[in-house]
Amino acid sequence: MNAGIDAHVHLWERAVDPQDWIDAQTMLPIARDFGASDLSEMLASTGLDRAVVVQSSNSLDESIRLAKLDSPAIAGLVAWVDLAAEVGPQLDQIRKDAAVPVIGVRHLAHIDPDPQWMMREEIGAGLTVLEREGLCFDLVVRTWQLPQATRLAARHGGLRFVLDHLGGPPEPGQDRSTWASRLRELARQPNVVAKVSGLTSGLAPGSWRTADLASPVTIALGSFGPERLLYGSDWPLAELGGGAQPWKSALEALLDGLSASERARVFGGNAADVYSLS
């Protein structure tokens, strides 16, 4: 059985990698630096061993610095590269003197100024390089972008796509029908897996209960099955919703109907396979 892996965390040092999206007034719990020692403490609180660190800004410099973090808590890095430029030399820069293996690439497509970024020809060429390198591509998208993600996955059948945060389902009490139908369509692409992550990051602490998260988790489980779902804390953003531990406990309760081996897949085994973690 694989040791527990958190498939989605972030680390940042704002003096060198400014996170301008953090509002110190409304996001006070995360308006500070988060390093490898903080990550180790968080993992201990959730009973997991390692985590996949994911880029948090479209910055090659950030990825180069993250790759140099030497910690047993870090299983691998989902980096950023400019997919519209020469991908190989950028990967070489990140890998030089790296302590962390590059296991995938992500671009903040959900906030890219070009709403058709994923459909651009040069982006497709960059994704072809990722496939050749044996890397995954993390999709961070919103509901309106899920059809684009489906077309992209169909075009690049040999590339593994990892959908972050289930594609951003609407919050409790909002209509989820469009999101659900588009998620199911994406899940029909066999080269796509999904992270059950980020579901509490946008909710105020104490404002949600486990039952509030049952619908999107059930829809995701029915769409992808336990063999294609990866647990992610989305820490430290999880602190905005009360912390990583309450979120993990909620998901464990919602997945209680799975077998022990299926739960082990969600909480680490799938991440190890998808990202080829040793």
Angle between helical axes of 177-187 and 214-224 (0-180°, round to 10):
20
Q: What is the chain's mean pLDDT, rounded?
A: 96
Put residue 182 in one of left, alpha, beta given phi > 0 → left and psi -120 to 50 → alpha.
Answer: alpha
Q: CA 58 to CA 69: how far, in whole Å?
A: 18
pLDDT beyond 90 at 220: yes
Mean pLDDT of 178-186: 98
Domain range summary for the chain, segments of one domain joined by +: 5-274
pLDDT band at 120 (very low <50, low <70, confident <90, very high): very high
pLDDT in tens, 265-274: 999 999 999 9
pLDDT beyond 80 at 185: yes
Mean pLDDT of 207-220: 96
Tokens 């139908």, located at residue: 181
Q: How large a percentage of the chain has pLDDT more than 90?
A: 96
Count, residues in the chain: 278
Neighbouring CB atoms inside 10 A of 97's CB total 8
pLDDT beyond 60 at 102: yes
Q: Residue 1 has what pLDDT?
A: 40
Q: Residue 278 has what pLDDT?
A: 75
Would you state the structure tokens that stand for residue 230, as one six-digit string? 């990866």
**Three-state SS string across 236-275, please?**
CHHHHHCCHHHHHHHHHHHCCCCCHHHHHHHHHHHHHHHC
Mean pLDDT of 219-239: 98
pLDDT band at 96 (very low <50, low <70, confident <90, very high): very high
Helix (H, G, I), strand (E, B), or coil: what is residue 128?
Answer: helix
pLDDT beyond 80 at 36: yes
Q: Look at residues 54, 56, 196, 199 and name the one whose alpha carbon lies nearest to residue 137.
A: 54
Mean pLDDT of 196-222: 95
User: Fold for domain 5-274?
Assistant: TIM Barrel (3.20.20)
pLDDT beyond 70 at 212: yes
- 94 to each of 33, 61, 142, 243, how far by Cα in Å? 21, 8, 28, 30
Q: Residue 198 has what pLDDT?
A: 95
Q: Residue 111 has what pLDDT?
A: 92
Q: CA 255 to CA 262: how far, in whole Å?
A: 9
